[in-house]
Amino acid sequence: MIAGRGKQRIRPPRRGLASSAVDFDSIWSLLETAFRQIHTSNASQLLYEELYRHAYQVVLKKKGEELYSSVSRFEHEWLSEDVRSEIYAHYSPQMLPHTQALTTSTATERRMAGEKFLKGLKEAWSHHQVCMSMIADVCIYMDRTYCNDNRLPSIYTTAMNLFRDDILQSPITTNDNRPVLHLLNQVILDQIQMERDGDVIDKHLIKSCVYMLESLSESGDESKADRLYNVSFEVDYLETSRAFYSREADAVLRDTDAGTYCKHAGRRIYEEEDRCRSTLAESTMPKIQQVVEDELVRNKIVEVVDMDSGVWFMLDNDRFEELSLLYNLNARVDDRKSVVTRAVQQRIVALGDDINKAALAASQSAPAAPGDAAEKSKPSAQTNQQTAAAIKWVEDVLALKDKFDMVWKESFQQDNMMQTAMTRSFADFINSTNFPRTSEYISLFIDENMKKGIKGKTEAEIDTVLDKAIILLRYVQDKDLFERYYKKHLCRRLLMNKSISNEVEKQMISKMKIELGNNFTTKLEAMFKDMTISEELTASFKKHVEGLGDKDPRRIELGINVLTSMTWPLETMGSMDEGEGKQSAVFPVAVDRIKQGFEKFYNLKHSGRQLKWLANMGSADIKAVFPKVAQKDGSFKERRHELNVSTYAMIILILFNDVPTDQHLTFEEIHARTNIPKADLIRNLQSLAVAPKTRILIKEPMTKDVKPTDKFFFNEGFNGKFVKIKVGVVSSGNKVESDRERRETEKKNDNSRAFCVEAAIVRIMKQRKELAHSQLVMETLSQVAAQFKPEVSMIKKRIDSLIEREYLERIEGAKVDSYRYLA
């Protein structure tokens, strides 16, 4: 029999503590007086024990219901009579914005009036809360038993709801129909608007009104969804904000540039966040943000980005900060930042196209210049111009890349998606179909650097140059085309000893290996290997000849490069042209002897290999003696020169050894006696007889063109400034290809691509045995993607050809086009 400890309650019998007869009316009148005192802040003389005891007794006597309704009625009357009139005392028509036109109130007066109203309402509310908590304390026994048993809201809640009904939702006066709540919303909104316009308002006051709205709900149950704040104020707030920002966005856009707009929008978003924290409810934050973002960003971002002062302007003028703002705004409404990304991409492509066009224009302006003076200088000038265009192109592209990397770092927070998009744009214009020379230009850029550019640079600088080239290479789709050009250029560099440093060459290749894989560089590496082997071969042949013992002072020294025909792009050097290469040139006897000597020597070492002599690629150092002939400047002596000439030129010059000074050889004669291919012959004769500084032969008639009937004399009067003279062959440097050449390169490239594609198809089919057409195309594309990007039509053609050659067959009756592999 222990009472207490637990919460279980045992009702006492109806006698004892309370006197048996309870007169409700007298007790109620006592309580009512007390309540009135509480409401008028006069509670300090009231004894809680007494009030509680009375209320307790009433409830104990089953009069709970009566007490409950009496308290409710009392509160209702109190609120609607005393409190409402009090609120009305704080009301003044000045405080509402739309009445401003009628009265002459200033904004400050309006603000003051509004604040007064808010203050009155807030005080009434907090006073009501305090009083009700005291009254509820008195009636706590009723709450505990009667309200619990009958599932009624506690008297406190009921009184709060009464406040809602009798104050907030009833008209302000009998002849003014607007409910107080409506006025309250209007005033708060007006105050917020004032703050947006730069006024300082009483944030705490508003916040406490917001608390009030938050603690009251529409229907009386305490779910969050229909709090007065949410159903009434917040709706209005979002609506007016939307209208305001929509207007403001238009106005700001009209008056300022994109950068300012971004700053403004950023500030507004921040302000609204701050307002939710300090003035309104945090729960509104995502909603109002949504509104501001909608109006200031989502609806306007396209316009802002495309403005004259938009992304393009910012990019061109390095406005990193503004770009960053814009990027952040875009990021707010769109995870993928598609609008800004699109603009940046467009700008890259546009700038890239400009570079492409400039390069094309630069490379075409030279051939357009007519004139037949200085035949020799024109092609070289043209070569230079083309090469310069190529190098300029590469440098421009790199500069563009640097710029956008900078932008990416400074403004786009190194966003991955942005980087991918930018890379794609670079690849787009670099691989643009309007500009087919990318691979060639990049290779030329490397070539130029290998030959000249890296001279006098530190290792680190060289490294950056090479890395730049690799960066560009990364964008190139048709890697095989690049390989072809690079091989060609490398070949020239190696054979003509143009490369400054073998080390750097190797470094470049190892970089490419890392970037593009082993496959890509094997052939390039093989070329280097051939060069090393050839050096050893030359040395050992020299030793071999010395070992033979016949000390011939007139013996010719032979330096030789044995090149594996598969790895070296010999056809691009023009050696296999026109089938004429088969009938090799006739070498002078002395040269022919050593040539045969080497062949014998080589065959001893590697039997069964066939050597093909490529005279058009070789060079020779010859000593020439020019007899004593009167010079223009009057000197009269013998002159010795060491001439560095091409192999063909050497053959031609040696012919003249047997020709008396006054005799001549015609073109036809030379051709018949040397068997040099005509095209090469013409070029060599041009450099020997036409080029002003190396005019060792005299041509008759003296024109630029070499005709079959032209006669050639030995120029006894030749006088050079230096002992050593290099006779260049016309068009030997690496230069941009002519259109015809490029078409050929492309054709060759297409051929080799065809093989690649066929090989890929066969590999796939061998593995899969049967495959649908579309799948086959997809897999083939992915297999060769590392090297180049073939046209689908090309793959189709290759499939057809493979079917023709019975590697594959079509599967009859299959739903989709399918093929079967025929072993």
User: Which residues form the interface with another protein (CB under 8 A)?
Assistant: 1-5, 9-13, 16-18, 38, 41, 43-53, 56, 130, 133-134, 137, 140-141, 144
Q: Which residues of 216-231 are buried (b: 16+ CB within 10 A; e: fewer)?
A: bbbeeeeeeebbbbbe
Give 133 or 635: the residue with its C-beta nearer to another protein: 133
Which of residues 12 and 93 has its CB atom nearest to another protein in the complex?
A: 12
> How much helix, strand and coil, in percent to the nearest 5, is found in the chain?
65, 5, 30
Eight-state DSSP code of residue 233: I
Q: Indicate the SS3 state at residue 31.
A: helix
C-alpha span between 337 and 417 (Å, rounded): 9
Minimum CB separation of residue 1 from another protein in Å reads: 5
Residues in CB range of 232: below 8 A, 6 or more apart:
181, 185, 213, 218
Per-residue H/E/C for 324-350: HHHHHHHHHHCCCCHHHHHHHHHHHHH
Question: Is the CB of 134 or the CB of 531 nearer to another protein?
Answer: 134
Q: Nearest distance from residue 190's CB to another protein, in Å?
A: 34
Give the nearest distance from C-beta 238 to another protein in angstroms.
Answer: 36
Instruction: Match 């080589």 to its residue by tokens.
Output: 602
666 backbone dihedrals φ, ψ, rounded to 5°: -85, 165
Bridge partner residues of 712 (DSSP): 665, 699
Least distance to another protein from the beta carbon of 68, Å? 18
CB nearer to another protein: give 45 or 518: 45
* Runs of H (alpha helix) within 476-561: 479-495, 502-516, 518-548
Classify strands 639-646 and 724-726 as parallel, antiparallel or unpaired. Answer: parallel
Q: Which is closer to another protein, CB of 28 or CB of 56?
A: 56
DSSP 457-492: --HHHHHHHHHHHHHHHHH-S-HHHHHHHHHHHHHH
Give least dist CB 231 to another protein, A: 30
Cβ–Cβ < 8 Å for 821, 768: yes
Task: Give the residue with the Cβ less far from another protein, 26 or 663.
Answer: 26
Residue 801 Cα to chain centre, angstroms? 40
Report the residue number, 16 or 701, with the smaller CB distance to another protein: 16
- Between 159 and 585, CB nearer to another protein: 159
Nearer to another protein, 12 or 517 (CB): 12
Least distance from another protein to the Cβ atom of residue 73, Å: 23
- Name the residue nearer to another protein (CB basis): 37 or 499: 37
List the one residue out of 533, 588, 527 whose CA is nearest residue 560. 533
CB 714 within 8 A of CB 659: yes
CB of 125 to another protein, least distance (A): 16
**Minimum CB–partner distance for residue 163 and another protein (Å):** 19
Q: Which long-range contacts (CB under 8 A, 24 or more apart) does 361-364 make?
A: 362/388, 362/389, 362/392, 363/389, 363/390, 363/437, 363/736
The answer to whether 292 and 269 are in contact (CB under 8 A) is yes
Rounded to a whole number of angstroms, the minimum distance from the CB of residue 36 to another protein is 14
Q: Shortest distance, CB of residue 112 to another protein, whole angstroms? A: 32
Please state the closest distance from residue 44 (CB atom) to another protein, in A.
5
Nearer to another protein, 9 or 554 (CB): 9
| Cβ distance to another protein smaller for residue 3 or 625 | 3
Residue 50 CB, nearest approach to another protein (Å): 7
CA 98 from chain centre, in angstroms, equals 51
Minimum distance from residue 137 beta carbon to another protein (Å): 4
Contact 95, 116 (CB under 8 A): yes
Q: Nearer Cβ to another protein, position 47 or 823?
A: 47
Whole-angstrom Cα distance, residue 361 to residue 73? 94
**Which residues does 55 contact at the CB level (< 8 Å), separation at least 6?**
31, 67, 138, 139, 141, 142
Q: Which ranges constitute the DSSP H helices of 562-665?
A: 589-605, 647-657
Residue identified by tokens 């927070």 is: 413
CB of 144 to another protein, least distance (A): 7
CB atoms within 10 A of CB 497: 8
In sequence order, the 6+-apart residues with CB closer than 8 A to the CB of 720 are 639, 641, 693, 694
Report the nearest approach of another protein to the CB of residue 148 (Å): 13
Contacts with 722 (C-beta within 8 Å, 6 or more apart), sequence order: 641
Name which of 115 and 143 has its Cβ closer to another protein.
Answer: 143
Q: Rounded CA gap, 31 and 201, in Å? A: 42
Q: Which is nearer to another protein, 14 or 593 (CB)?
A: 14
How many Å from the N-terminal Cα to the C-terminal Cα in the chain? 100
